[in-house]
């Protein structure tokens, strides 16, 4: 786990013996996070997976994969399903926004039901950069440009959920490289990340193409991290 440079300050107060939620889409990043948390002794995890019903049989296959993954690591499982496309139409939101809101609402429901108010999510440095760029292009102020945080509190339907992102300082490229050497890639049926799956639209594809340019991505990572600390 040392290679991953896990955020020590975010994990220090979180005893491995306690119960925590973890969001697992079935993509590389969340599967890698699950793998290494279990390696670090976090054995009382509750894997949370929401089927967005956006990809037909593939979405159902993802849910089955996550179910088998939870059994492999001998951890609890909470499954949910929702028609995100229909929700987006009813609420007049983009599919990406509707999916994100549905996921957090699902996490809050599981947190309340299982009396567990902390969840691990697999967001990494590239996700932070993408969020920073989106907010920048939308003209966000300092609060919006602070983007994601390693530890944050989000209130959803009167449930205060503590969100912990241990991989926020690790690039997607590094996660992929280390997953290959640790054989974690074999655990994940999909090589793409969960953020890739849910990042829809023409702008999403453009920003992903832009971030593939290595120097630009690294520069933006440094800048967004500096701004996040400055505007907290």
pLDDT at 193: 46
Beta bridge partners, 81, equal 51
d(CA 21, CA 45): 6
pLDDT at 190: 52
Sign of CA dihedral 92, 87, 99, 21: positive
Beta bridge partners, 45, equal 20
Whole-prediction pTM: 0.81
Nearest alpha carbon to residue 84 among 57, 55, 119:
55
In the structure encoding, which two tokens stand for residue 206, read together? 């453009």
Per-residue pLDDT of the chain (232 residues; tens, 9 = 90+): 454 545 556 677 899 999 999 999 998 899 989 998 998 899 999 999 999 999 999 999 999 999 999 999 999 999 999 999 999 999 999 999 999 999 999 999 999 999 999 999 999 878 777 776 776 666 655 555 556 788 899 999 999 999 999 888 888 888 888 777 766 754 555 544 444 444 444 444 555 555 555 455 556 556 655 555 455 5
Please, what CATH class does the domain formed by 2-230 belong to? alpha beta
* C-beta of residue 194 within 8 angstroms of C-beta of residue 27: yes
d(CA 16, CA 227): 31
């Amino acid at each position: 786990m040392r290679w991953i440079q896990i955020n020590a300050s975010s994990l220090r107060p979180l005893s491995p013996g306690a119960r925590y939620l973890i969001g697992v889409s079935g993509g590389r990043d969340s599967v890698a996070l699950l793998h290494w948390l279990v390696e670090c002794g976090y054995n009382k995890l509750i894997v949370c997976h929401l089927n967005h019903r956006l990809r037909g049989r593939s979405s159902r296959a993802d849910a089955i994969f996550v179910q088998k993954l939870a059994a492999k690591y001998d951890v609890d499982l909470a499954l949910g399903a929702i028609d995100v496309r229909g929700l987006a139409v009813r609420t007049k939101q983009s599919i990406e926004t509707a999916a994100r809101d549905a996921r957090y609402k699902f996490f809050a429901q599981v947190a309340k039901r299982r009396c567990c108010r902390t969840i691990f999510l697999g967001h990494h440095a590239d996700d932070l950069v993408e969020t920073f760029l989106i907010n920048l292009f939308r003209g966000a102020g300092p609060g919006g440009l602070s983007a994601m945080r390693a530890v944050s509190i989000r209130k959803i339907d009167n449930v205060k959920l503590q969100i912990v992102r241990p991989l926020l300082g690790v690039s997607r490229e590094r996660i992929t490289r280390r997953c290959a050497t640790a054989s974690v890639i074999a655990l994940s049926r999909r090589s793409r990340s969960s953020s890739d799956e849910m990042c829809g639209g023409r702008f999403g594809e453009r920003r992903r193409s832009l971030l593939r340019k290595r120097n630009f991505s690294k520069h933006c990572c440094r800048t967004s991290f500096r701004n996040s600390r400055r505007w907290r």
